[in-house]
A = this chain, B = another copy of it.
Amino acid sequence: MNRCIRIALCAAIGASAFGSTHAQRQNDSQKPLTIASQGSFFVGGELKKVEAPPGAPPTAAGEITVNQMYVQYQIPQVGRRHVPVVMVHGCCLSSKTWETTPDGRMGWDEYFVRKDRSVYLADQVSRARSGFDPTSIAAVKSGAAAPSTLPSIISATHEIGWIVFRFGPTFGTAFPDGQFPIESVAELYKQMIPDLNALLPTPNPTWTNMAALAKQLNGAVLMGHSESGFFPEQAALIDPSGIRGMISIEQPCPADLTAAQIASLAKIPTLMMFGDHLGDAQSPLVSWQNALETCDAFVAKVKAAGGDAEMMHLPKMGIKGNSHMLMQDKNSLQLADLIIGWLDKHVERS
Binding site for B on A (CB under 8 A): 32-42, 45, 50, 53-57, 59-65, 68, 70, 72, 77, 94-96, 99-100, 104, 106-107, 110, 123, 128-132, 134-135, 137-138, 140-141, 143, 147-148, 150-160, 186-187, 189-194, 198, 284-285
Residues from chain B with a CB closer than 8 A to the CB of A106 are 39
Q: Does the CB pair A140–B147 fall under 8 Å?
A: yes
**The 7 residue pairs across chains A and B that have the minimum distance between CB atoms:** A131-B193, A62-B157, A39-B100, A55-B153, A62-B159, A141-B150, A42-B190
Residue of B nearest to A157 (CB): B62
Knowing A50-B157, A62-B160 are in contact, say whether A36-B40 is a contact too (CB < 8 A): no
Nearest chain B CB to A255's CB is how many angstroms away?
Answer: 22
Q: Does the CB pair A152–B42 fall under 8 Å?
A: no
Copies in the complex: 2
The answer for the CA separation of A107 and B33 in the assembled complex, in Å, is 19
The answer for the CA separation of A37 and B62 in the assembled complex, in Å, is 43
User: Can you list 10 residue pairs at the A/B interface with Cβ under 8 Å?
Assistant: A32-B34, A33-B38, A35-B35, A45-B186, A53-B157, A59-B285, A96-B129, A129-B193, A137-B150, A140-B147
Which of B45, B100, B140, B153 is within 8 Å of A40, CB to CB?
A: B100
The answer for the CA separation of A138 and B154 in the assembled complex, in Å, is 9
Residue of B nearest to A160 (CB): B59
Residues from chain B with a CB closer than 8 A to the CB of A96 are 40, 70, 129
Residues from chain B with a CB closer than 8 A to the CB of A150 are 137, 140-141
Q: Does the CB pair B65–A192 fall under 8 Å?
A: yes
Q: Does the CB pair A192–B131 fall under 8 Å?
A: yes
Residues from chain B with a CB closer than 8 A to the CB of A198 are 56
Residues from chain B with a CB closer than 8 A to the CB of A59 are 157, 159-160, 284-285
